[in-house]
C-alpha cells in the first residue's frame, strides 16, 4: 500500500534545537511541516533559511495543542495518508519515524488508527529518569484514562505519534494547551479508534522546562488535566468505567 506520509513538528522558541533536529528528520521523512506557534526567538529566521520544509506560523502563541491541531488540518487538506508528530526539543529520535509508520500501516493496510509513543512500555539502556512530578502526574492520569476508557496505555502524554489521517476529521479538538492529548484520548475512544503503543526511549534534556504560568505548579497542572478529562467525558457522553464499544 503506497502512502503519503507527513512529519509535523510543533515548535515554540526552539532556536537551540532546530538546526540539530530538522536535518535528522529530513533523513527519515520526505515531507515535513513545522508549525511555529508564535516564536519570539530566532526560530522564524532559522526556518526562513531552510528549503524544502513547509512552515505555518501562528502570529500569537496559542499552545501546544494549537500546533498539533494545525498539523492535523494541514495533513487532511493536503491529502496525506499518515501523519507523524514529533517534538523539536531533541527528546524524540527521528530514526524511529519509519518504524512508527510501519506500526501504523504497511502493504496490507492500516494496523491502527493511532500509534502512540511510550517511554514506559519497555526500558532502553540509555533511558533517563523522568522528573518526579512529571512521572507521578503521567502515571496517575494514565491510570485514570485506562480505568475510565478501558485502555491499556503506559504513557498518556508522549507527543511522538502516528495517525491515520482520514480519521482526523472525526476529532473536534478545541483544547489548545498541554492537555490536548487527554482530549484526544477521550475522543478517539468515543469514535472507536484503534490505538496501539510503540516503545521509545525516555530522554529528558531540560528537566526544568516550563509549562507556562500556573501550570508549573504540579498540583494546578494535575487539576487542569483532570478537569479536561471530566469535561470531555461529559461531552462525549461517556461514563467512567462503562462500556465504550
> Tens digit of pLDDT for each residue in 35-51?
999 999 999 999 999 99
pLDDT over threshold 90, residue 227: yes
| Distance from C-alpha of 147 to C-alpha of 98, rounded to nearest angstrom | 31
Long-range contacts formed by 206-212: CB under 8 A, 24+ apart:
206/89, 207/131, 209/89, 211/178
Residues 68-77: what's their mean pLDDT? 98
Give the range among 5-9, 88-92, 125-129, 192-196 with minimum mean pLDDT.
125-129
Q: Give me the pLDDT at residue 204, please.
A: 77
Q: What is the mean pLDDT of the chain?
A: 92
Residues 196-201: what's their mean pLDDT? 96
The number of beta carbons lying within 10 Å of the beta carbon of residue 157 is 19
Q: Give me the pLDDT at residue 2, please.
A: 82
Cell numbers given for 113: 488508527
Structural domains present in the chain = 5-235 (3.90.550.10)
H or E stretch at 57: strand 54-58
Question: Which percentage of the chain shows pLDDT scores above 90?
Answer: 79
Residues 158-172: what's their mean pLDDT? 97
Q: Give me the pLDDT at residue 213, please.
A: 59
| Distance from C-alpha of 29 to C-alpha of 179, rounded to nearest angstrom | 27
**pLDDT: which is higher, 120 or 242:** 120
pLDDT over threshold 70, residue 245: no
Q: Give me the pLDDT at residue 176, please.
A: 94
Q: Give me the pLDDT at residue 214, please.
A: 59
pLDDT over threshold 60, residue 59: yes
Q: Give me the pLDDT at residue 166, please.
A: 97
pLDDT over threshold 70, residue 114: yes
Q: Give me the pLDDT at residue 209, please.
A: 58
Q: What letter would DSSP give residue 94?
A: G
The number of beta carbons lying within 10 Å of the beta carbon of residue 65 is 23
Please, are residues 39 and 80 in contact by the beta-carbon 8 Å criterion? no
Q: Give me the pLDDT at residue 82, please.
A: 98
**pLDDT: which is higher, 245 or 61:** 61
The sign one gets for the Cα dihedral 34, 39, 41, 45 is positive
Angle at 177 between CA 71 and CA 103, to 5 degrees: 45
Phi and psi angles of residue 187, each rounded to the nearest 5 degrees, phi first? -70, -40
Phi and psi angles of residue 19, each rounded to the nearest 5 degrees, phi first? -70, -20
**pLDDT: which is higher, 106 or 141:** 141
Contacting residues for 172 by C-beta, under 8 A, at least 6 apart: 187
Q: For residues 126, 127, 132 and 134, what is the CA-based torsion angle, rounded to 10 degrees?
A: 140
Amino acid at each position: 500500500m503506497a502512502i503519503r506520509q507527513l512529519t509535523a513538528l510543533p515548535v515554540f522558541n526552539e532556536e537551540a534545537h532546530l538546526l540539530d533536529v530538522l536535518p535528522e528528520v529530513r533523513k527519515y521523512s520526505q515531507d515535513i511541516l513545522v508549525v511555529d506557534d508564535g516564536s519570539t526567538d530566532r526560530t522564524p529566521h532559522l526556518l526562513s533559511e531552510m528549503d524544502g520544509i513547509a512552515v505555518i506560523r501562528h502570529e500569537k502563541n496559542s499552545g501546544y495543542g494549537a500546533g498539533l491541531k494545525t498539523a492535523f488540518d494541514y495533513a487532511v487538506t493536503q491529502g496525506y495518508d499518515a501523519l507523524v508528530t514529533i517534538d523539536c526539543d531533541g527528546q524524540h529520535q527521528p530514526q524511529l519515524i519509519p518504524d512508527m509508520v510501519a506500526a501504523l500501516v504497511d502493504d496490507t493496510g492500516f494496523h491502527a488508527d493511532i500509534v502512540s509513543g511510550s517511554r514506559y512500555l519497555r526500558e532502553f539502556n540509555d533511558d533517563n529518569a523522568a522528573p518526579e512530578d512529571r512521572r507521578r502526574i503521567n502515571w496517575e492520569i494514565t491510570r485514570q484514562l485506562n480505568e475510565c476508557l478501558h485502555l491499556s496505555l503506559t504513557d498518556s502524554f508522549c507527543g511522538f505519534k502516528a495517525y491515520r489521517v482520514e480519521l482526523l476529521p472525526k476529532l473536534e479538538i478545541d483544547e489548545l494547551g498541554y492537555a490536548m492529548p487527554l482530549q484526544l484520548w477521550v475522543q478517539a475512544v468515543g469514535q472507536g479508534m484503534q490505538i496501539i503503543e510503540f516503545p521509545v526511549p525516555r530522554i529528558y534534556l531540560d528537566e526544568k522546562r516550563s509549562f507556562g504560568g500556573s501550570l508549573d505548579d504540579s498540583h494546578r497542572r494535575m487539576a487542569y488535566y483532570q478537569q479536561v478529562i471530566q469535561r470531555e467525558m461529559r461531552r462525549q457522553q461517556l461514563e467512567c468505567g462503562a462500556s465504550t464499544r
